[in-house]
Amino acid sequence: EEQLLESGGGLVQPGGSLRLSCAVSGFTSETFSMTWVRQAPGKGLEWVSTLSSSDGNTYYADSVKGRFTISRDTSKNTLFLDMNILRDEDTAIYYCAKEEPYYSHNKAYYPGYFALWGRGTLLVVSS
């Protein structure tokens, strides 16, 4: 069974740093693009970052660009999100998601859709 399990959330002071992890099981993460999405308390979904499997490139929301870094350890089949210079507004549940490609005429296209989500890990940035 395919599963994603996030960890690493917690309480951090503004300006601090933290690393989130997403342990992948049931499939090889490097085969798929992987994404972090967050949700502030009582708010909607906000895309944070994607690590593309097709070109290895990384993509970031403007709100986190320059502060967050997405990466993966293929030997551990784990996705990471390194977060620096944290702000109050970074407080959210952080979900990792597996991206499946769209198919057209039997050809796979990225970016696709978020087919599998983890349970999320809560980050609270507060003094």
Partner 1 sequence: SYDLSQPHSVSVSPGQTASIYCSGEKLGDRYVCWYRQKPGQSPVVVIYQDEKRPSGIPERFSGSNSGNTATLTITVTQVEDEADYYCQAWDSGTAVFGGGTRLTVL
Write out the residues near partner 1 by the rule CB under 8 A.
35, 37, 44-47, 50, 59, 61-62, 95, 100, 102-103, 111-115, 117-120
Query: By C-beta, is 17 or 58 nearer to partner 1?
Result: 58
CA distances from 94 to 10, 45, 47, 54, 101 (A): 11, 10, 10, 24, 22
What six digits make up the tokens of 34? Answer: 């992987």
Q: How far out from the chain centre does Cα 97 lie?
A: 6
Quote the least distance from Cβ 45 to partner 1, whole Å: 4
- Tracing tokens 């994603």 back to the chain, one arrives at 4
Residue closer to partner 1 by CB (options 27, 47) is 47
- Give the count of alpha carbons within 13 A of 101, CB side only: 13
Residue 77, token pair as written in the block = 């089949």
Residue 27 beta carbon to partner 1: minimum distance, rounded to whole angstroms: 16
Closer of 16 and 108 to partner 1 (Cβ) = 108
Smallest distance from partner 1 to CB 82, Å: 20
Which lies closer to partner 1 via its Cβ, residue 71 or residue 113? 113
